[in-house]
Amino acid sequence: MEKSKEEIIETLGLHLEEQQNLPPLAARIYAIMVLSDEDGLTFEDCLEKRGASKSSTSTSLNLLLKMGIITYFTKPGDRRRYFTLAKKKTFFLTKLQEFLKRLEAEKSVITLVMDYHKKHCPKKFEEGKERTGVYLDYMTSNEKLLKESIAKFEIIEQKEN
């Protein structure tokens, strides 16, 4: 059964809340932009589609602008701003870069603990060596794949500019 546009907005909104730590309204506005077939949404469009207050909508749009995941443009003879998804810093590229950063940090901490155990707690080091090795191999493989994917996205971005 196919989900309605509103159900998809809600599903994507919940996902963005959890994964991007976005407030609920900002997540829904972003989801609306992802699914919109219009070239941009005005402030009034965002108000109408979400039914939120002007101040909440303004705060959410400003947050998304500050994060660099949306941008705006104007049309000649029209004073309104049209908000749209940022093209330069793609959502997918940003996500991959965040995954890589978290993976590198975790890998660094695990290596730090393992080095400490090797020097100061040899028994603990030996007990965890095999499991930790499997996990670090997994992380190294993912790190390589993330770097390759990021490079591909950067090539796509260069072609578009």
Q: What is the pLDDT of residues 2-22, one digit of tens each?
A: 689 899 999 999 999 998 889
Question: In this structure, what token pair is assigned to residue 101?
Answer: 């950063």
Name the one residue in this structure whose structure tokens are 């965040």: 98
Kindly state whether residues 14 and 78 are assigned to the same domain. Answer: yes
d(CA 77, CA 1): 44
**Listed range (42-46, 48-52, 58-62, 122-126) with the worst mean pLDDT:** 48-52
| The pLDDT of residue 161 | 67
| The pLDDT of residue 145 | 98
Q: By percentage, how much of the chain surpasses pLDDT 70?
A: 96
Confidence of residue 104 (pLDDT cuts 50, 70, 90): very high
Kindly state whether residues 78 and 104 are assigned to the same domain. Answer: no
Which one of 85, 104, 128 terminates a domain? 85
Residue type, 105: A
d(CA 153, CA 121): 43
Sign of CA dihedral 16, 58, 83, 46: positive
What would you report as the CA-atom Rg of the chain, rounded to the nearest whole angstrom? 22
What CATH number is associated with residue 9? 1.10.10.10
| The pLDDT of residue 129 | 95
